[in-house]
Chain A
């Protein structure tokens, strides 16, 4: 069974700096993917970025990019030029048979 691990319960970053949120995974499937979702204090789950293991290049969506290193089984989220509105919980998740397996989350705080 798949397993997702986020080892950083909380992170701080200065506004306008870049930050990397860690995610490691364990799966025996030859084909898989990784999601990142953002959960602000208002509670909704917002889809940020997705990459499949078969994708050749790291996915990018605006200021978000996914640093996928299959040999290390890691799929870290990089947020460039942090903004105050980036303060939120961030979850890494992996699809398993159409369902999603979530990590424990990382709480990011952006300081002005």
Chain B
């Protein structure tokens, strides 16, 4: 039981490049989330998916797209990376009816 896994762990991009951050959970949770964490700040929600087939914007969605591929997987795509997207990205999942979110280990992204 791996919980929430994220790939890659670390990535360096040049401005304008695209990439997809992968997230998978093996806890059969319906809800999945993408957050970003910038220095000196708490996590801010980018997008979330309440169930398979649905996605919604969070607090800071600009510059990102998401895909809920199936119940297990929720990916985050940067179409044209910008230095302002340098951050640590966390994926999380939650069981319906429960409040606790379980987080992946994070992906550190550096955009030059």
Contact = CB atoms under 8 A, between A and B. Distances in A.
Interface string B13-47: 00000000000000000010101000011111100
Interface in B42-95: 42-45, 48, 50, 58, 88, 90, 92, 94
B100 interface: yes
Nearest to A102: B42
Chain B, interface size: which category?
20 to 34
Given A35-B100, A43-B105, A98 B94 contact: yes
Given A35-B100, A44-B103, A100 B43 contact: yes
Contacts of B58: 99
Chain A, interface size: which category?
20 to 34
B33 A105 contact: no
Interface of B: 31, 33, 35, 40-45, 48, 50, 58, 88, 90, 92, 94, 99-106, 108
Contacts of A43: 88, 105-106, 108
A73 to B, nearest CB: 18
A100 B101 contact: yes
A103 B42 CA distance: 6
Contact of B48 (A44, A95, A98): A98
A44 B106 contact: yes
20 contacts: A9-B40, A33-B99, A43-B88, A45-B43, A45-B90, A45-B103, A45-B106, A47-B101, A47-B102, A50-B99, A52-B99, A91-B43, A93-B43, A98-B31, A98-B94, A99-B58, A100-B33, A100-B35, A100-B43, A105-B42
Interface centre among A4, A9, A50, A98 (most CB of B within 10 A): A98
A107 to B, nearest CB: 10
Interface centre among A99, A102, A104 (most CB of B within 10 A): A99
